[in-house]
Amino acid sequence: MRSLAFSLLSLATAARAATVTYNFTATWVWAAPDGVGRPLVGINGQWPCPTIEANVGDTVVVHLSNELGNQTTGLHWHGINQVSTEDMDGPSGVTQCPVPPGSFIKYEFVVDVAGTYWYHSHNMGQYPDGLRGPFIVHDPDDPNKSKYDEEVILTVSDWYRNQSLDLVRQMLVPANTRFQPPIPDTILVNEGQGANINFVKGKKYRIRLINFAALAGAFLHFDSHTMKVIMNDAALIKEQEAYQLRVAPAQRYDFIIEAIDRDSGNYPFLVSLDVNRDFQNPALGALRFPYNFTGYLVMDNTQPLDKVDVVDVWNPVDDAHFQAYDGAAPYADYNKLIKLDFQFCFDANGYPRACFNNVTYIGQAVPTLYTAATTGDDNSNPLIYGQVNPFIVEDGDVVQIVVNNLDEAAHPFHLHGHHFQVLDRPGPTAGSWPERDVNYASEPPRRDTVVVNGQSYAVLRFKADNPGVFLFHCHIEWHVEMGLTVTIIEAPSKLKGLVFPDDHLDNCRIQKIPYQGNAAGNTQNYTDTTGFVTVPPTIYNG
Ligand SMILES: *[C@@H]1O[C@H](CO)[C@@H](O)[C@H](O)[C@H]1NC(C)=O
Ligand SMILES: *[C@@H]1O[C@H](CO)[C@@H](O)[C@H](O)[C@H]1NC(C)=O
Ligand SMILES: *[C@@H]1O[C@H](CO)[C@@H](O)[C@H](O)[C@H]1NC(C)=O
Ligand SMILES: *[C@@H]1O[C@H](CO)[C@@H](O)[C@H](O)[C@H]1NC(C)=O
Ligand SMILES: *[C@@H]1O[C@H](CO)[C@@H](O)[C@H](O)[C@H]1NC(C)=O
Ligand SMILES: *[C@@H]1O[C@H](CO)[C@@H](O)[C@H](O)[C@H]1NC(C)=O
Ligand SMILES: *[C@@H]1O[C@H](CO)[C@@H](O)[C@H](O)[C@H]1NC(C)=O
Ligand SMILES: [Cu+2]
């Protein structure tokens, strides 16, 4: 009976699966999301960028043309694990060459898990210039469907009036000895500064909350309404009530709120940008919430929108204590430990950088996936990839990543290609991992981005069942540009000889970027490191 039910189910799913195609042309557009005009990267002449929507099981095709004229581009599908389509993940220098002006690239992949995602440029610090949008994968058989009537997307972000390239160039100078990132100019909600939600008394709403920020986390609170959280980062959790949420850059929460039916008042909600180094650590001084936004749940638009939502102390729910909906235990018997000590550092020219284990990520000539595919058995030798902080994991390994955050600030770390389990994530100043596997969550939440508190650590696990080359990095965009990235070379034995689409390789050919051999494009002697980039360029060009 059981197997019959399963095969009927998969037949039904297969019958529904469709191909959803989007044609995107990236151009500069002029817009004023906070009232101050500036050039932004938009799509098809519009900004905000469109929402991608599909049903689970569908194939999504995006034709991306670069008409920016003066910058390369590319897109990453944040949270989509790219099972069997590792070459569609999108980061430049990792799974593809950047798309030069006048060229295009086709992305094609199956959306295998329903939930709330987003897409963004993963090229030269470009998404804070606007190239980002929501990506929703619907599930017609959503187990929570009876719990809500309507869906609403709510995006939050910090916002800069200067262009990213200028901000990064100003940050990466020897005088920046305190590793200061650019500080935002304001806050955006739904890419603007008006985001009221029309509510009907008694109805239930599923809110899909996404943080698009380059730097700041955001707090959220609704007056008189509690949030019932059902998903984190597109992974189902056991329903969890929350009065306040903190959503870090790149994270998502799906939650349900019910419009109260005792009256038809308009209820405010507060979004507060968090530029604290670590809001939980009082030793770091006064809490800083420089930009607030008040929106309304509008039940009666003849009534005034004048109430304010006052929050005295931000004390958000602890997402490390969420529980996976299926109650799955931690993967047992990990056989690969990747221990990463993060601290800021300086390069040989005295430029501020960010380091894992005292090594900063430096992009190489050949995209790392292309090296893995074209170097035969040598592809399991980390030496051939250059200073991209390569870690080899074999097919089927159970991998434990430990991040020791030696910095005082909290940082959100993101893994491509997997939803990891969060086994432990203590509060600030807990110090480094005690090197013992104790006190772990018994039903750990799975997600793709986790906040690691200041002077503290996190323990994450995943199973290496998705061959590819996947980044693990801080999702503060400015820290990516400082080199806070490692590269996981997953199942190299299955990457040997992979063939890539011509339109992807054409983008390398046009720019004379090598796409075979070791990090420097040596196709004769893979262990010859001549030509590897060992010091970051002093002039930042993305
Ligand atoms: C996308 O563009 C191609 C050719 O440029 C065209 O054939 C196709 O109909 C377009 N698809 C959509 C969904 O606009
Ligand atoms: C690229 O073009 C945009 C739009 O014209 C302009 O605002 C920006 O300064 C240019 N960037 C560079 C690096 O030339
Ligand atoms: C940001 O823009 C302002 C106004 O145009 C300019 O004065 C300032 O130098 C810019 N900052 C950077 C880092 O380019
Ligand atoms: C923003 O809201 C928070 C919480 O209510 C408050 O502590 C902070 O002072 C506010 N910031 C500003 C600039 O009003
Ligand atoms: C949503 O569905 C999951 C999986 O069936 C379940 O564990 C969770 O409790 C549901 N949440 C709500 C609010 O019903
Ligand atoms: C990193 O460098 C610091 C200071 O130079 C040193 O104390 C530490 O042992 C180094 N860590 C590793 C993992 O090499
Ligand atoms: C490959 O390069 C390495 C490093 O330069 C060198 O030691 C080795 O002899 C070379 N192998 C061959 C076959 O030339
Ligand atoms: Cu960071």
**How many Å apart are CA 345 and CA 320, to the nearest integer?**
29
Q: Is residue 540 part of a domain?
A: no
Q: Is residue 542 part of a domain?
A: no
**Are 130 and 260 in the same domain?**
no
Query: Does pLDDT of 15 surpass 60?
Result: no
- CB of 39 within 6 A of ligand 2: the answer is yes
Type of residue found at 233: D
Rounded distance from Cα 102 to ligand 3 centre (Å): 28
Q: Is residue 329 part of a domain?
A: no
Band of residue 77 on the pLDDT scale cut at 50, 70, 90: very high
Band of residue 143 on the pLDDT scale cut at 50, 70, 90: confident
pLDDT tens digit sequence for 286-332? 778 999 999 999 999 899 999 999 999 999 999 999 999 999 999 99
**Are 297 and 438 in the same domain?**
no
**Are 124 and 202 in the same domain?**
no
Q: Whose CA is nearest to atom 8 of ligand 6?
A: 358
- Identify the three-state secondary structure at position 481: helix
Model confidence, pTM? 0.95
pLDDT tens digit sequence for 195-216? 899 999 899 999 999 999 999 9
Asked which of 289, 321, 353 is the last residue of a domain, the reply is 321
**Are 50 and 189 in the same domain?**
no
Query: Does pLDDT of 3 surpass 90?
Result: no
**Contact indicator for 496, 377 with CB cutoff of 8 Å:** yes
**Are 137 and 151 in the same domain?**
no
- CB of 272 within 6 A of ligand 4: the answer is yes
Asked which of 87, 121, 143 is the last residue of a domain, the reply is 143
- Identify the three-state secondary structure at position 283: helix
Q: Is residue 533 part of a domain?
A: no
- CB of 292 within 6 A of ligand 4: the answer is yes
Q: Is residue 228 part of a domain?
A: yes
**Are 121 and 158 in the same domain?**
no
Structure confidence at residue 247 (pLDDT): 98
Asked which of 118, 143, 168 is the last residue of a domain, the reply is 143
**Are 351 and 225 in the same domain?**
no
Find the domain containing 104 and state its range.
Answer: 2-143
**Contact indicator for 482, 284 with CB cutoff of 8 Å:** no
**Are 132 and 77 in the same domain?**
yes
Rounded distance from Cα 206 to ligand 5 centre (Å): 13
CATH code, domain carrying 38: 2.60.40.420
**Contact indicator for 260, 225 with CB cutoff of 8 Å:** yes
Total domains, the chain: 3
pLDDT tens digit sequence for 447-493? 999 999 999 999 999 999 999 999 999 999 999 999 999 999 999 99
Q: Whose CA is nearest to atom 6 of ligand 3?
A: 162
Structure confidence at residue 472 (pLDDT): 98
Ligand nearest to the backbone CA of 38: 2
**Are 352 and 501 in the same domain?**
yes
Q: Is residue 526 part of a domain?
A: no
**How many Å apart are CA 313 and CA 336, to the nearest integer?**
41
Band of residue 338 on the pLDDT scale cut at 50, 70, 90: very high
| Residue percentage of the chain with pLDDT more than 90 | 92
Structure confidence at residue 232 (pLDDT): 98
**Are 187 and 72 in the same domain?**
no
**Are 155 and 279 in the same domain?**
yes
Q: Is residue 385 part of a domain?
A: yes
- CB of 358 within 6 A of ligand 6: the answer is yes
Give the CA count within 13 Å in the CB-facing half-sphere of 355.
14
**Are 15 and 138 in the same domain?**
yes
Q: Is residue 482 part of a domain?
A: yes
